Amino acid sequence: MKAFNKIFALAVAVIITVFVTANVILLKDSTGGRPYLVEVSRLVNEIENGNAYDISDCKYVTGVSEYAEDFYNSHSDYVIREINGELYRFDYTADGSVDKAETIIVVNVILSIMSVVIIAVMIYIRAKILAPFEKLTDIPYELSKGNLTAPVKEAKNRFFGRFVWGVDMLRENMEQQKERELNLQREKKMLLLSLSHDIKTPLSAIKLYSKALLMEEEISSGHARALLGLEDSEKQLEIAENINAKADEIEGYVAEIITASREEFLSLDVTMGEFYLSELVTKIKLYYTEKLSLIKTDFFVGEYGDCLISGDLDRSVEVVQNIMENAIKYGDGKEISISFSEEEGCILIAVKNSGCTLPDTDLPHIFESFWRGANAENLKGSGLGLYICRQLMHRMNGEVFAQINDGDMCVTAVFGKTSIHG
**In this predicted model, what pLDDT tens digit does every residue of 167-213 receive, in sequence order?**
777 777 777 777 777 777 777 666 666 666 667 667 766 766 666 66
When mean pLDDT is compared over 79-83, 132-136, 239-243, 345-349, the highest value belongs to 345-349
**In this predicted model, what pLDDT tens digit does every residue of 277-286 receive, in sequence order?**
999 999 999 8
Higher pLDDT, 416 or 109: 416
Q: Give helix 97-125 / helix 2-27 axis angle, nearest 10°.
A: 170
Task: Share the mean pLDDT of the chain.
Answer: 77
* Start and end residues for every CATH 3.30.565.10 domain found in the chain: 273-420
Model pLDDT, residue 183: 75
Torsions phi, psi for 163 (to 5 deg): -65, -45
Model pLDDT, residue 221: 47
Share of residues in the chain with pLDDT > 90 (%) = 18
What fold is seen in the domain 273-420?
A: Heat Shock Protein 90 (3.30.565)
**In this predicted model, what pLDDT tens digit does every residue of 208-252 receive, in sequence order?**
666 666 665 455 445 445 554 545 566 666 766 777 777 766 766
Model pLDDT, residue 204: 62
Model pLDDT, residue 413: 96
pLDDT at residue 263 is higher than 50: no
| CA 249 to chain centroid | 43
**In this predicted model, what pLDDT tens digit does every residue of 2-45 receive, in sequence order?**
777 778 788 888 888 887 887 777 666 544 457 778 888 888 88
Do 365 and 351 meet the contact criterion of CB atoms below 8 Å apart? Answer: no
User: DSSP per residue over 310-336, as a string?
Assistant: EE-HHHHHHHHHHHHHHHHHHS-SSEE
Higher pLDDT, 314 or 142: 314
Region 340-351 average pLDDT: 94
- If pLDDT is split at 50, 70 and 90, which confidence band does 258 have? low
Torsions phi, psi for 153 (to 5 deg): -65, 135
- Closest among 241, 193, 238, 233 to 216, alpha carbons compared: 233
d(CA 96, CA 59): 7
- Closest among 79, 97, 80 to 35, alpha carbons compared: 97
pLDDT at residue 416 is higher than 60: yes
- Closest among 38, 47, 28, 51 to 92, alpha carbons compared: 38
**In this predicted model, what pLDDT tens digit does every residue of 360-415 receive, in sequence order?**
888 888 888 666 655 555 555 556 778 888 989 999 999 999 998 888 999 999 99
- Tell how strand 86-92 and strand 61-66 pair up: antiparallel
pLDDT at residue 92 is higher than 90: no
Which amino acid, 152?
Answer: V
Task: Quote helix, strand, coil % in the chain, to nearest 5.
Answer: 55, 15, 30
Give the H/E segment covering residue 293. helix 277-294
- If pLDDT is split at 50, 70 and 90, which confidence band does 341 have? very high
Region 261-280 average pLDDT: 78
Torsions phi, psi for 30 (to 5 deg): -65, -15
